[in-house]
Amino acid sequence: MNEQTFSLQPFASTESLSHLKLTGSIARHHHQLAISYKLLGDLTQVIIAPSSDTLARKHELWEDTCFEFFLGFKDSPSYWEFNLSPAGDWNVYHFDGYRQGMQEETAFKKLPFNVDNQSDSFTLTLDVDLSKIVSANQVIEVAITAVIKQTGGEVTYWALTHRGAEADFHLRDSFIIEL
């Protein structure tokens, strides 16, 4: 199994985000990918949607607090975007190239994940079978990201690295984890 820990950094912001820390781990074993996010700090300043009993595939989850990751293959322009809402909603998109040909990835009919929301920490964990889109021996490149919406309405963008002049999770040179 190939496991790595990570710490996400916010894109340059006018307000201090020192009250928040976003870390986690990612691991791959054959077709299984496990990812865990942990948001720590003063979560009263963060809008976290309450868990829902009706988990569904939904669009535009990135407009609110959303945990995301992107994966692709070395030397290939196509990639996938996975969106996970604290409410339990989710989506997976496939792109033919940089922000091109976006379409729902129909290989996934559900994407169950677990959420643990405490007063000073929020944890989201996902264990997903990638066999419908990735072969077991195929190396994947991953970008781990999050959108955090604060109670004042400010939306902040968190990633392993920010390679552009603006926050842009789709830049392939930010897919820096190999599994």
Please, what are the domains in the chain?
A: 2-178 (2.60.40.1190)
- Closest C-alpha to 17, from 49, 46, 58: 46
The whole-model pTM stands at 0.95
103-127 pLDDT tens trace: 999 999 999 899 999 989 999 999 9
For residue 71, what are the CA distances in angstroms to 38, 42, 129, 151, 170? 20, 30, 13, 30, 10
Answer whether 105's CB lies under 8 Å from 92's CB: yes
- Closest C-alpha to 163, from 147, 174, 154, 177: 174
Q: What percent of the chain has pLDDT over 90?
A: 83
Q: What percent of the chain has pLDDT over 70?
A: 96
35-87 pLDDT tens trace: 999 999 999 999 999 988 888 999 999 999 999 999 999 999 999 999 999 99
For residue 21, what are the CA distances in angstroms to 34, 39, 58, 149, 172? 20, 6, 27, 14, 24
